[in-house]
Structure 1
Amino acid sequence: MPSRNVAYPLFDADNHLYETQEALTRYLPKEYDGAIEYVNVRGRTKIAIRGQISEYIPNPTFDVVARPGAMEEYFKVGNPTGKTRREIFGEPMRAIPAFREPAPRLELMDELGIRRSLMFPTLASLIEERMKDDPELIHAVVHALNQWLHETWGFAYKDRIYTVPVITLPIVEKAIDELNWVVERGARAILIRPAPVPGFGGTRSFALPEFDPFWKRVVETGVLVALHSSDSGYATYANDWEGNKREFLPFKPNAFRQVHEWRPIEDAVTSLICHGALTRFPELKVAVIENGASWVGPVLNGLADVYKKMPHEFREDPVQVLRRNIHISPFWEEDMAALGDLIGIERVLFGSDYPHPEGLADPLTYVDHLVKLSEEDQAKVMGGNLARLIDG
């Protein structure tokens, strides 16, 4: 039974599945054999991308995972005793069927009191950055993953679990084809990495006019665009300061990178506004997932200041563009009422990050952090706002 009763249905904007080893390879074309492999390193299975072992996800098989909500205390009070990451995670657990398959996941959602959820892949976040010099490979791997997601989870299981396929953008025509493919199979939301888009001539913003045919098709389909936290490639920038070339490892953060942790989403949202995509396509629905909300105030202040000094660079007020198009799922430990004051409570989305260790062990406890809101506004945050985006 749910840990408590609420008077409204819950729609969780941030749930995750754990992929199996064949998720990226089962449907990968033969010409890309060997591009992705699982290898044994001193008794542990690791993933190798084109022969390069990645530590981005320490256990890419997900046979053993951190317990849901293992880091709640860390985010609540910090780390005053200086525990190691392993100590913070605590005792791991064997992955259960509900992390791997939709039918048992639906049963678990009933136990947790979650009516509907967006379901994001986990392993997908490492793909694009490690293949950015080969756009054709990126598209092939992403499509292979989407085929696996559709076969294993579906994109709208029982009209309650909305698994979110990945769309990569290096080749615009292929991105449109992929979008059409997933929408034809029931996708209601798509995952786009908040990062510069790799291509044959280097990287560029996805908000430049060359991507307009893609955004036009997104508007026509009505799907929600989810900018979910991923490896956005900012390790290169950090490495320039730190004097090394190590891989970005989310489970081994350091102080310098933590201070600038939200720079990728700041840049992504700012690009959508300053490069004009949200003005050319004002009906685009964008949700920022698992990126918190601490960056919102500074970005709004920066946009207001630039607009005051350079109004000729904008066709409309950039602050109002953000408030019109961008929806945000804040972390449970943040001030949701304050965020509502900044962007409107209709733009705030409940997301538990279940079953990741950074999320909530009991997603329903998110409502405990909405005490400053009326029950009507709590209902909007906990499900009504996302229902409007998905069903509308």
Structure 2
Amino acid sequence: MFLIKEITARRSLIVSEVLGLIDTDIHNEVRNQEQILPYLAEVWHRQWLQAGTSIGMPFYSPVGVLRRDAVPEDGGTPGSDPSMIIKEHMDLYGFDYGILNWGRAIEMSIHPDPDYANVVVSAHNDLLADVWLKTDPRFRGSIVINHSDPEATAKEINRMAGHPGFVQVIMCSAARLPFGQRYYHPIYEAAERNGLPVAIHPGTEGRGISGAPTPSGYPTRYMEWHNILPTNYMTHVNSLVCEGVFEKFPKLKFVGIEGGISWLPHLMWRMDKNYKAMRASAPWLKRLPSEYIKEHFYFTTQPIEEPGNKQYLEQIIEMSGMEDNIMYSSDYPHWDFDNPKVVMASFSKRIRSKIMAENAMNLYKLKKEPLEAFE
């Protein structure tokens, strides 16, 4: 059983200048294909064993995607062993909480078969509740969904929201339609009614049924693709605000994971400027677009931008007025994992505790100390 005294001692050596430490993006995976079978109806077993998520990555990464030192001792996918994540990540850095976000399962939103996608995400949610959330009281989970079937997704959110270990809904950021369009409203209604933020996560742009990852088509290489991912986040933020989603769902919160933060002032300024001249095209909006962003959006640090002068990054956060909306994330066990000590050094003491813990505590309604693991 996890001991609060032990974790407090570790934190005093590593993160003594913050009031807590929360990782909002830990990627867990299934150990092997067979692990999912008890949670799938038998009619789907052959397809799952032979095809899995079936959405391949078209770009070659010379550094890989997953850290080699995160492979379990007895083999398996990095991030698939709860005890290893606890020892090599949660305990090592002294995290109070870690939000678990399935890695490959978010691909199901862009799978061509919505029925298969629905049962696969449901199976992952059941496995998370049945195994992972019972392992350590610091773990919290995200309900993975198939955003290509909003009605089924609303039912899945309702089904899993009663479990106290789930603190948000998560879906991939690749899509056939921008997220502000009314097609997605059943998802937002269910999330708002259950008091759950909706998170989006990149990595599937240009795959499955989502279409090209940029308005001009496909990049040539992985680095080009990785560099440009924030443009998709800008698309969704712009759409959600301009389409009036937050007027219809005033309590809804959105979380942009792994999309960066330095583009925020540019988008906010541009949206505000255009709104002043063209507000007749969006008569449902009652405030400046930037005000909706400040109230309804959160963003995570990883992959944190690294300007030559580290003060520039904090200045950008100040420009956007988002210091209460930025949360630390490690992206463990991916190749561009961000060490919390390195991230903390990027910010002054003035906002360090907010980013490393307080903002996440407020959004996810977390207690100061974890209780017992969920049974």
Q: Indicate conservation of the 8 Å contact 2:108/2:146, yes or no.
A: no
Normalised TM-score (structure 2): 0.78
**Counterpart of 1:306 in 2: which secondary structure?**
helix
Q: Tell me if 1:253 matches 2:225.
A: no
Structure 2 CA distance for partners of 1:37 and 1:215, relative to 1, 3 Å: same
**Counterpart of 1:19 in 2: which secondary structure?**
coil
Query: Hey, what's the Cα distance between the residues in 2 that align with 1:160 and 1:218?
Result: 23
- Equivalence for 1:70: none
1:114 partner letter: F
- Equivalence for 1:363: 340
Q: Tell me if 1:231 matches 2:204.
A: yes
Unaligned runs of 5+ in 2: 1-9, 307-312, 367-375
The correspondence for 2:293, drawn from 316, 322, 325, is 322
Q: Tell me if 1:20 matches 2:31.
A: yes
Normalised TM-score (structure 1): 0.75
Q: Indicate conservation of the 8 Å contact 1:274/1:318, yes or no.
A: yes
Structure 2 CA distance for partners of 1:277 and 1:125, relative to 1, 3 Å: same
C-alpha displacement at 1:88, in angstroms? 11
Alignment of 1:225-374 (within 5 A): 225-233=198-206, 236-237=211-212, 253-255=222-224, 257-258=225-226, 260-314=228-282, 315-316=285-286, 317-330=288-301, 331-334=303-306, 335-360=313-338, 362-371=339-348, 373-374=349-350
Structure 2 CA distance for partners of 1:25 and 1:253, relative to 1, 3 Å: farther
Deviations 1:114-149 (A, max 9, x none): 1111111112243332x23x2222212211221222
> What CA RMSD, in Å, does the superposition of the two structures yield over aligned residues?
3.2
C-alpha displacement at 1:152, in angstroms? 2.1
2:211 partner letter: T
Structure 2 CA distance for partners of 1:353 and 1:290, relative to 1, 3 Å: same
- Equivalence for 1:112: 93
- Equivalence for 1:36: 48
Q: Indicate conservation of the 8 Å contact 2:323/2:355, yes or no.
A: yes
**Counterpart of 1:118 in 2: which secondary structure?**
strand
2:231 partner letter: R
Q: Indicate conservation of the 8 Å contact 1:37/1:49, yes or no.
A: no
- Equivalence for 2:171: 192
Query: Hey, what's the Cα distance between the residues in 1 that align with 2:66 and 2:115?
Result: 37
- Equivalence for 1:54: 56
**Counterpart of 1:310 in 2: which secondary structure?**
helix
- Equivalence for 2:4: none
Deviations 1:255-295 (A, max 9, x none): 3x345322221111111111111221121121111111133
Structure 2 CA distance for partners of 1:124 and 1:240, relative to 1, 3 Å: same
C-alpha displacement at 1:226, in angstroms? 1.4
1:328 partner letter: F
Q: Indicate conservation of the 8 Å contact 2:171/2:201, yes or no.
A: yes
**Counterpart of 1:307 in 2: which secondary structure?**
helix
2:346 partner letter: H
